[in-house]
Amino acid sequence: MAMENPDKKTEVVLLACGSFNPITNMHLRLFELAKDYFHETGKYKVIKGIISPVGDAYKKKGLISANHRVTMAKLATKNSDWVEVDDWESSQSEWLETLKVLRYHHQKLLSPDATNILQSAVPLTKPGRKRKQEPNRHDPVKKKNQNPDIKSVPQVKLLCGSDMLESFGIPNLWKLEDITEIVKNYGLVCISRAGNNVEKFIYESDILWKHKNNIHLVEEWITNDISSTKIRRALRRGQSIRYLVPDVVQAYIEKNNLYTPESEDRNAGVVLAALQKNASDSKN
Ligand SMILES: Nc1ncnc2c1ncn2[C@@H]1O[C@H](COP(=O)(O)OP(=O)(O)OP(=O)(O)O)[C@@H](O)[C@H]1O
Ligand SMILES: NC(=O)c1ccc[n+]([C@@H]2O[C@H](COP(=O)(O)O)[C@@H](O)[C@H]2O)c1
Ligand SMILES: [Zn+2]
């Protein structure tokens, strides 16, 4: 194994995937909490946060158009010097597995100018070649090259709340091979959320247990159970959402009258794209 320079910190990019319907103050807090956590270890430097709102093809009930969700996320991060919004995922016509979004962002960091970056939603290397199958390992090939011009590539880690981690256990929602690649090759940063017991969940999953060193659990001590669902509910009832979402987001929602009983009925009765895809995959 190559000797690591103890002074050299591993650079990390945090990627949060979700509906952001709408983005809340708590979504923004996830990034701050994760960054503090990594910096407190003394081993990592968080260089960027990316918010990737899911596309309309996800078909979740009450999901308003990606256009509005991306705009709100951009407004919310306007004052952040390290968190940005990326609309690549939401501009795809089909729903994409989260693993593909991770692959895309990792590939983009490797070759930011690549024009056919869409192709990168497939694995970076051919299967069967063990070493290269680990695209997110910190800097293995570059060290060998000894080329100072080749910058080390940051690790991309999936940032989520504990409910998303626990959703790995919902039948047909996630493919086991996707979960495996996420925890093996990328890594998870999971912020605690009321009602979840992630430690137990990891203990009960062989694959998560195996890769638990790549799953970072961050305890949120200043608990705050804001959720987009509760924001939409308050809006339908004409209640204030001030101080729960950034002022600019609140203003944008009001100006465009985004959340109504009708918007909550969008995709009612439609099967979530992830479930649909996995159900049809398992039939083939
Ligand atoms: N209060 C919270 N604490 C911890 N994680 C959170 C919190 N709110 C959102 N997240 C995380 O943010 C990511 C994006 O979540 P999402 O867009 O589904 O927001 P949400 O508030 O859960 O919305 P909804 O109520 O519509 O499901 C997920 O990983 C989710 O776990
Ligand atoms: N198999 C998968 O990759 C898979 C399954 C379910 C949800 N997801 C993602 O997780 C996020 C969940 O967001 P919500 O909690 O708002 O439903 C979305 O970004 C969605 O694309 C991924
Ligand atoms: Zn959610």
Q: Is 88 helix (H, G, I), strand (E, B) or coil?
A: coil
162 lines ligand 2 (CB under 6 A): no
| Nearest alpha carbon to residue 46 among 61, 56, 36, 58 | 36
190 lines ligand 1 (CB under 6 A): no
Specify whether the CB–CB gap between 165 and 187 falls below 8 A.
Answer: no
Q: Please give the average per-residue pLDDT across 32-41, as a whole number.
A: 98
State how far the alpha carbon of 256 is from the alpha carbons of 9, 69, 72, 267, in Å. Answer: 44, 12, 11, 20
ipTM above 0.95, yes or no: yes
Instruction: Report the pLDDT value the prediction gives residue 249, as an integer from 0 to 100.
Output: 98
Instruction: Report the pLDDT value the prediction gives residue 91, as an integer from 0 to 100.
Output: 98
- Span of 77-86, 135-144, 255-264 with lowest mean pLDDT: 135-144
Q: Ligand 2 mean position to 98 CA, how many Å?
A: 7
Ligand in closest contact with the CA of 164:
1
Instruction: Report the pLDDT value the prediction gives residue 260, as an integer from 0 to 100.
Output: 97
Ligand 1 atom nearest to 60, measured from its CA: 26
Rounded Cα distance between 241 and 20, Å, is 15
More confident residue, 42 or 135: 42
More confident residue, 27 or 125: 27
**Cis peptide bond upstream of 135, omega within 30:** no
Q: Ligand 1 mean position to 229 CA, how many Å?
A: 9
Q: How confident is the model at residue 126 (pLDDT cuts 50, 70, 90)?
A: very low
Q: How confident is the model at residue 109 (pLDDT cuts 50, 70, 90)?
A: very high
Greatest Cα pair distance in the chain: 61
34 lines ligand 1 (CB under 6 A): no
**Total Cβ atoms within 10 A of residue 216:** 19
What size, in residues, is the chain? 284
Ligand 1 atom nearest to 162, measured from its CA: 31
Tell me the whole-structure pTM to 2 decimals. Answer: 0.90
69 lines ligand 1 (CB under 6 A): no
Residue 245 has pLDDT above 90, yes or no: yes
Q: Which helix (H) or strand (E) holds 52?
A: strand 44-53
Ligand 2 atom nearest to 174, measured from its CA: 1
Cα angle for residues 246, 167, 55 (degrees, 5° grid) = 55
